[in-house]
A = this chain, B = another copy of it.
């Protein structure tokens, strides 16, 4: 039973949260092209979703549209940004500066909006000291100090699988509660810690499953992004 707390309904569905960045990206593109207002139909098209779903998603944030007109692009950009917490700056540390870690460090795309790479850490003495994208790679020994001093609140894990849980335990102990994990392991974390994983291998296997099915029978329902 839920109590009828008439206060602010901060219960935004997880599925909605996952789509807000998509809307935001589409809206930013429109703002750049000078579009002032957009209908749910057009925005849904740009984001690749159903328009009713888009309207319901946005309704969770509030009533920011105008009936008969649509949504003000800039205003909506601001509202979604605020809801996602992008109006503040997030310090991110990347642990494991190998092939993938380097690519991430060099990637300008996420630094641009709200996220700032505040630390690169690795265990390999060969790697420590390297300069990558203007940052010096530090030794994993100073992990806790880096997290604390630079206010790191999100850690990206790009170490080999065997090291991931150990590093995870350390960053959690240091107070981090948001982790993006690229290592192919199921991390075990205490309640209150958020782990999201990106797993290339799983994605390929899912594609292979559907590909095999297409080759087999003529009955299929595909696509989804």
Contact = CB atoms under 8 A, between A and B. Distances in A.
Nearest to A115: B204
A178 interface: yes
B214 A192 contact: yes
A204 B225 contact: no
A222 B201 contact: no
Number of copies: 2
Interface string A89-110: 0101000000110111011011
Contacts of A204: 90, 92, 110, 115, 154, 180
Contact of A220 (B26, B99, B192, B208): B192
A197 interface: yes
A48 to B, nearest CB: 4
B184 A25 contact: yes
A205 to B, nearest CB: 4
Given A196-B207, A225-B195, A110 B201 contact: yes
Nearest to A110: B201
A44 to B, nearest CB: 11
Given A47-B186, A99-B103, A213-B10, A208 B90 contact: yes
A125 B21 CA distance: 34
Interface in A186-213: 186-189, 191-213
A3 to B, nearest CB: 11
Given A107-B100, A195-B225, A206-B18, A178 B84 contact: no
10 contacts: A22-B202, A99-B106, A100-B103, A110-B204, A115-B204, A153-B211, A178-B210, A180-B203, A191-B222, A194-B224
Given A85-B209, A196-B206, 17 more contacts: A10-B219, A21-B205, A22-B202, A25-B184, A85-B208, A86-B208, A88-B212, A99-B102, A104-B200, A114-B205, A153-B211, A154-B208, A178-B211, A180-B207, A192-B223, A193-B222, A195-B223
